[in-house]
């Protein structure tokens, strides 16, 4: 089983700014989302013995993983293959500016791979597939991962065998986790979780 969480809201998210391989800290809302994910995962997992918590190396994912770890009693591991998609020259840019400057590209299907100097879809798929291949088979697989909107879509897409278009059409909430089990994906809401 894999539980997949996207990091909580960041200042760049709130500003409508592309992050990619850049970073910005979690907002107060993002910190609350991270704690809520930890509470929900504690309910879902119960005894954390035998579980691993793996995070992207970026600070926003690590901050979210630390909040989850505090609730589960696990030590986060870092895996660079879970890092967000690099948007190259678009990292750090406002989405609204990119939409004005690149109306035929930005915001349309699979624009994530149109940025100058950005990663290719194939390179992201390769690193995610490599990571998935190293996991134990189900039902021995007990992993919580914290990653990003882009890399999380690719994890779910690879796990579910989705096409590229289907992969990028998936939603990427910051107030829910996904349970990947037996070839299916289930969204589990965390927005209504009370955090003490």
Separation CA 107–CA 87 (nearest Å): 13
Q: Which of 7, 39, 119, 148 is catalytic?
A: 7
- The partner residues of 178 in beta bridges, in order of sequence, read 4, 187
- For 54, list phi and psi in degrees, rounded to 5: -125, 135
Cα of first residue to Cα of last residue in the chain, in angstroms, is 27
Residue 130 burial by CB count (10 A; 0-12/13-18/19+): exposed, middle or buried? Answer: exposed
Q: Which of 9, 39, 84, 119 is catalytic?
A: 84
Separation CA 88–CA 16 (nearest Å): 17
Active site residue 7: yes
Write b or e for each residue in 21-47: b if 16 or more Cβ atoms lie within 10 A of its Cβ, otherwise e.
bbbbebbeebbbbbbbbbbbbeeebee
Beta strands in 100-172 (DSSP E): 143-147
Residues 6+ apart with CB under 8 A from 20: 84, 85, 86, 87, 88, 90, 91, 92, 118
Residues designated catalytic: 7, 84
């Amino acid at each position: 089983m894999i539980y997949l969480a996207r990091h909580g809201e960041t200042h760049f998210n709130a500003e409508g700014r592309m992050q990619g391989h850049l970073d910005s800290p979690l907002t107060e809302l993002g910190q609350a989302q991270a704690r809520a994910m930890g509470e929900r995962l504690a309910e879902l997992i119960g005894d954390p013995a035998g579980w691993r918590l793996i995070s992207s190396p970026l600070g926003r994912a690590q901050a979210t993983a630390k909040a989850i770890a505090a609730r589960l009693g696990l030590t986060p591991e870092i895996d660079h293959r879970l890092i967000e998609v690099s948007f190259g020259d678009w990292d750090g840019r406002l989405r609204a500016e990119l939409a004005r400057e690149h109306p035929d590209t930005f915001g349309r299907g699979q624009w994530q791979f149109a940025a100058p100097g950005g990663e290719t879809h194939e390179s992201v798929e390769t690193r995610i597939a490599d990571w998935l291949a190293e996991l134990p088979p189900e039902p021995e697989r007990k992993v919580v991962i914290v990653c990003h909107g882009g890399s999380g879509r690719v994890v779910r897409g690879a796990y579910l065998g989705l096409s590229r278009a289907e992969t990028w059409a998936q939603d990427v909430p910051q107030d829910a986790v996904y349970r990947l089990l037996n070839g299916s994906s289930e969204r589990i809401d965390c927005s209504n979780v009370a955090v003490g």
